[in-house]
Amino acid sequence: MQDPDCIFCKIVNGAIPSRKVFEDEEIFVEQVERQRRDGYRMAFLEDGKGVRAVAGYRLLESLFSGSFCYVDDLVTDATGRSLGYGGALLDWRAAAAREAGWGTRS
């Protein structure tokens, strides 16, 4: 049985409008797991109505930029758009990256 608040399940089932890259839930989950092995992480923001926003991100380093947080995916529940959920999630991610020393050059 699926969690009724599962935002990714809602995307896959078409309850949340999106540009679908994956039509099959199993293939979608396999893709997420493959990305997780390469450092992809997910965070979500919820309120009393359930999950309102989800971000997929990676902590990376490059010679040019040093360490940084790259946000691959940001999804907000349609009923929660323009209420600041996506921004709050990005603000949390940026603060957590700074606390961990990411985004500063050595």
- pLDDT for residue 37: 92
- pLDDT for residue 40: 92
CA angle 74, 17, 83 (to 5 degrees): 55
Query: Considering the entire predicted model, what is its pTM?
Result: 0.69
Structure tokens that stand for 42 in this block: 């997910």
> Length of the chain in residues, anyone?
106
- Segment 59-69 mean pLDDT: 86
- pLDDT for residue 78: 81
